[in-house]
A and B are shown apart, each in its own frame.
Chain A
Amino acid sequence: MTSETPHAPPEQITYANLLFYGSWGAIAILLVTFGVYVSGVFESYIPINEVSQYWSMPVSQYVHEANVPTGWGWATLLGKGDFLNFIGIALLAGMTIVCFIVVLPYYVKQKDIAFMVLIILEVLVLCLGASGLLGTGGH
């Protein structure tokens, strides 16, 4: 144990704050868009009363039968009530990339090669995932 109170480095604080406010912002957007979706203000691509029939289908069958776009095709359907929710989901999924890019200059300034390489690789992998070029995923 040490007598000095430990402090997180500024880059970690920046990352945490950005992720915190970004996440809350995305949740707020999700709540609004979900309210719009279920209230029926905007027409849905898949009518809300038909959604349950797709729940148990394999993905390929669901995509085929519901004629759901793959890749970034969802971005062309943001005018539909259900796909409007993808704005918040994409924002949440994109926050990590934004956070990494914002903290990268800290490590460049410190000439911390190891963290610079790690961050660049993370951003590249996440961008590859976001590009729609990969077919499968999981955690």
Chain B
Amino acid sequence: MAGAYLEPSTGENIEWKTHRTLPGLLLFIVIGVMAGMFGLGAGWANVPVLNLLMGAPLKLSVGTSKFLLSITDTSAAWIYLNQGCVIPLMAVPSIVGLMLGSFVGVRILAVAKPKVIRYIVITVLLFAGIRAFMKGLGI
């Protein structure tokens, strides 16, 4: 796949093209299996695969990851809803908070410099990795 997008922070049109689709697909399967087995969530791993392996620009990778989570989480939401395991007193404030936070985050992503986003992604992934590691060890 290929395309172009306008980078608001620099005013440049960035052309992009993805590579290594098959290894990317295989890694997404591994991520999905890990997410299903350990309940770690898959969002932390999507961005590195899209950016580092497939060569998509970082902002595009973040946006794509967010988009695909909106689809996969939607299917999970229906399942949780139909399993009777949604407690509105906890779920509604979480949903509203996360949605409002997402709207703010997306606005910031659109105008922020890619370099800043890179450092934020590295920091967030670092903490997510430590958290996943601790969860895996039962700490």
Residues of the A chain whose Cβ atoms lie less than 8 Å from the Cβ of B5: 6
Map CB proximity to B onto A77-120 as digits: 1 under 8 Å, 0 otherwise: 00000110110111011011100000000000000000000000
B14 CB-CB contact with A under 8 Å = yes
In the docked arrangement, what's the CA distance between A38 and B15, Å? 50
B88 CB-CB contact with A under 8 Å = yes
A13 CB-CB contact with B under 8 Å = no
- Residue of B71, B82, B95 near A96 (CB, 8 A) is B71
Is the contact region of chain B dominated by helix, strand, or loop, or is it mixed?
Answer: helix
In the complex, residue of chain B having the shortest beta-carbon distance to the beta carbon of A16? B67
A136 CB-CB contact with B under 8 Å = yes
Contact A139 to B84, CB < 8 A, known contacts A129-B78, A130-B78: no
Q: What's the least CB distance linking A43 to chain B, in Å?
A: 14
B130 CB-CB contact with A under 8 Å = no
B30 CB-CB contact with A under 8 Å = no
Contact A138 to B81, CB < 8 A, known contacts A1-B12, A82-B88, A126-B71: no
Contact A93 to B81, CB < 8 A, known contacts A30-B92, A34-B92, A138-B39: yes
B77 and A1: CB pair below 8 A? Answer: no
Residues of the A chain whose Cβ atoms lie less than 8 Å from the Cβ of B43: 139
Residues of the A chain whose Cβ atoms lie less than 8 Å from the Cβ of B91: 85, 89
B22 CB-CB contact with A under 8 Å = no
Residues of the A chain whose Cβ atoms lie less than 8 Å from the Cβ of B35: 138-139
Contact A62 to B85, CB < 8 A, known contacts A92-B77, A139-B41: yes
B82 and A71: CB pair below 8 A? Answer: yes
A139 and B89: CB pair below 8 A? Answer: no
A1 and B14: CB pair below 8 A? Answer: yes
A41 CB-CB contact with B under 8 Å = no
B99 and A23: CB pair below 8 A? Answer: yes
In the docked arrangement, what's the CA distance between A137 and B100, Å? 24
Q: What's the least CB distance linking A116 to chain B, in Å?
A: 16
B9 CB-CB contact with A under 8 Å = no
B3 CB-CB contact with A under 8 Å = yes
In the complex, residue of chain A having the shortest beta-carbon distance to the beta carbon of B72? A139
A interface residue numbers (CB < 8 A to B): 1-6, 19, 23, 27, 30-31, 33-34, 37-38, 48, 51, 54-55, 59, 62-63, 68-74, 82-83, 85-86, 88-90, 92-93, 95-97, 122, 125-126, 128-132, 134-139
